[in-house]
Amino acid sequence: MLRFILRRLFVSIFILLGALFLVYCLVAISKDPFADIVQSTAPNKQQLIEARTELLNLDVPPPARFFIWLGGMLGFLVGNGTWGVNVLGQDVGALLPNVVGQTLQLVTGATLIAIVAGIAVGVATALRQYSGFDYAVTFVSFLLYSLPVFFVAVILKLYLAIGFNDFLQNPQIPIGVLLLVGIIIGVVVMSVTGGPPKQRLIAFAAGAVGTIVLLLLMQALDWFREPSLGIPLMLVLGLTTVLVVAVLTVGLRERRNLVVTGAVALSGAVLWFPLQFAMTNEIGVWFIVALVLAYTVLAWLAGQFFGGVDRHQIRTNAAIVGFVVAVLLVIDRIMQVWPAYMDATGDRPIATVGAVNPQFAGTDNIWLQLLDSGTHLLLPTLSIAFISIAQYSRYSRASLLDVMNMDYIRTARAKGLPERTVVMRHALRNALIPVTTVVAADVGAIISGAIVTEQIFAWRAMGSLFTASLETVDLNPLMAYMLITASLTVLFNLIADILYSVLDPRIRLS
C-alpha cells in the first residue's frame, strides 16, 4: 500500500502542477492587472503602475512568472520561501491562516453532516422502496438538489434565523403549530417503521404524542431560553444511543452488548457533576478534544475487556456510545452559557452575518467562543449540507438497491441470517464504495459552493479571497486558493482509494 500511495502522490504532483500552470497563465492574460489604477483619478498613475510592476514582476511573461511563484512556494515548504504578496504588498502567507481556518470549519461540518444524514436517509428509503416515505424523501431530495445554494441560504436566513430569534422573544408555541409538528413527526416515524397497519398506527401515535409532550415540557421549563441536559437527559440520550447502536448492529437480544454499552452511557450521567469542575471557562480547545478522545478510548477498552467472544463488535459499539456521550457532555457545558449569550446578543442569538461576534473574539471563556462559532456556523453549514444530503441520499439509495439484488445477498438470507446482519454487514459496506467515490470527487464542488454561501453570510474566508483576487487579477492569493483547493481534492481522492480496500477486502492497492 505504501508503494501505491507514493506512486499516486508522485503522479498527482505533476497533475497539480499542470493545472496550476494553466490557471495562472489563463488568469494572467484574461484581464489588465492595472485596470483599477488606469480608471482612478490619481495624479501619479505612472508611478503606481511602475510600483505594481516591480512588486509583482508584471514585466515578466506569465509562463516565466509562474515558475518564479513556484520557486517561492517550494522555498516556503523548506522554510526559505514565501507565498508572495498581493497588490497591496501584504504577505499572502499572513492572510491565509484565518481564511483557510474559517472555510475548513464550514466545509468540514457541512461534509460530515451531509455524509451521515445522506447515507442514513438513503439506506432508509432503500429499505422502504416504493413506500410513501420513499416517494416523499425522493421528492424532497430532488427539490433540494435542484435549488441553488443561494436560495437555500436566503430561506434559512429568513425562517430559521430571523423566525427563531423572533420566537425567542416570547417562546410560546401555538396549539396549531404544536399539533402540526406532532403530526409531521408522527408521519415520519410511521413511514420509517413500516409494518402492518396496527404497527404503523402505534408508531404514528407514539411519534406524535411524544413530540407534543416533549415540546410542552420544554415550553413549561423555559428550555428554549435556559437549555440544559443535566443528569436526567444525559441518561436518556445515552441509553437511546445504546438502543439505536444495538438495533443497527447486534440486535437487542445480545445482553452483553447492552450491559457494556449501557454502562458506558451510565458513566456519562455519573461523571456529569464532577466534570463541571474540570470543564472551567479557562480550558483550551485541546482539553475538550483530549476529553472526547479519552472517553472514546476508555469505552473501547471497556468493550475489549468485557466484550467476551463478541468483543470485536462490542468494543466498536462501546466506542461509538462513548464518543456520543462525551460530545453530549461538551454540548451540555456549552448550553450553560446560553442565557449569558442571549443577553449579550439582545435575545437574538442565531447569527445571520459574519463568522464571529467581535465582542466574543477576545474573551477567555472557551464556552462562549464555541457557542458563538456554532451560531455563526449554523446557517452556512446547513445551506451547503442540505444540497449535499439530497445528492448523497440518492446515490446511497441506488447503490444499496443494486447490491441488495446480488447473489451473495440472497445466499446470506438463505443461510438464515437476520435482515439486520444482511444489510449492515454484507450489503452496506459494498454499497458505500460508489458513495465514497462521489464524496471524494465532491470536495472541490463543496468548496466552490462555499464561495457563494460566504458571500451571502458575509464571511471573510477563502471565497472572499478568491473573488477579490479574481477581480483585480491578484495572482498570488488566487494561486494560494487554487493550490489549497486542488491539494484537498487530490488528498480526498487518495483517501477514497484507501477506503476502497477497507470497505471491500477483495480490493488490493498495488
Round to whole Å and give the CA distance between 449 and 370.
24
C-alpha cell at 131: 413506500
- Residue 328 near residue 229 (C-beta atoms within 8 A): yes
Of 439, 413, 440, 416, whose CA–CA distance to 426 is shortest?
413
Round to whole Å and give the CA distance between 471 and 21.
19
Phi/psi of residue 131, nearest 5 degrees: -90, 170
Radius of gyration (C-alpha) of the chain in whole angstroms: 27
Round to whole Å and give the CA distance between 437 and 496.
6
- Burial status of residue 253 (CB atoms within 10 A of its CB: 0-12, 13-18, 19 or more): exposed
Terminal Cα distance for the chain, rounded:
6
Write out 341-407 in H/E/C secondary structure: HHHHCCCCCCCCCCCCCHHHHCCCCHHHHHHHHHHHHHHHHHHHHHHHHHHHHHHHHHHHHHHHCCH
Of 461, 466, 488, whose CA–CA distance to 477 is shortest?
466
Determine how many CB atoms are found less than 10 A away from the CB of residue 465. 25
**Helix (H) / strand (E) containing 464:** helix 462-471
Q: At what angle do helices 475-503 and 62-77 cross, to 10 degrees?
A: 60
Q: Structural domain boundaries of the chain?
A: 103-166+228-460, 172-221
DSSP assignment, residue 472?
T
- Burial status of residue 128 (CB atoms within 10 A of its CB: 0-12, 13-18, 19 or more): middle
Instruction: Please give the chain's pLDDT, 510 residues, in tens.
Output: 777 778 888 888 888 899 899 999 998 888 888 887 888 777 888 888 888 888 888 888 989 999 988 888 888 777 776 788 888 888 888 888 888 888 888 888 888 999 999 999 999 899 888 887 888 888 988 888 888 888 888 899 888 888 899 998 888 899 999 999 999 999 888 887 777 888 889 989 999 999 999 999 999 989 999 999 889 999 999 999 999 999 888 888 889 999 999 999 999 999 999 988 888 888 888 999 999 999 999 999 999 999 888 888 899 999 999 999 999 999 999 999 999 999 888 888 998 888 788 777 667 788 998 999 899 899 999 988 888 898 899 999 999 999 998 888 999 889 888 888 888 888 888 888 888 888 888 877 777 767 888 888 888 888 888 888 888 888 889 888 888 888 888 888 888 888 887 777 777 665
C-alpha cell at 421: 446482519
User: 205-231 b/e with 16+ CB inside 10 Å = b?
Assistant: eebbeebbeebeeeeeeebbeebebee
For the entire predicted model, the pTM comes to 0.86
**Which amino acid does the sequence have at 427?**
A
Conformational region of residue 347, where left means phi above 0, alpha means psi within -120 to 50, and beta covers everything else? left
Of 470, 490, 392, whose CA–CA distance to 118 is shortest?
392
| Strand boundaries in 271-350, DSSP class E | none
Q: CA-CA distances (angstroms) from residue 354 to 240, 457, 461, 464?
A: 36, 6, 10, 12
Q: At what angle do helices 285-306 and 255-278 cross, to 10 degrees?
A: 150
Scan for cell 443535566, then name that residue.
230
Length of the chain: 510
Round to whole Å and give the CA distance between 418 and 66.
60
C-alpha cell at 149: 445554494
Round to whole Å and give the CA distance between 73 and 13.
14
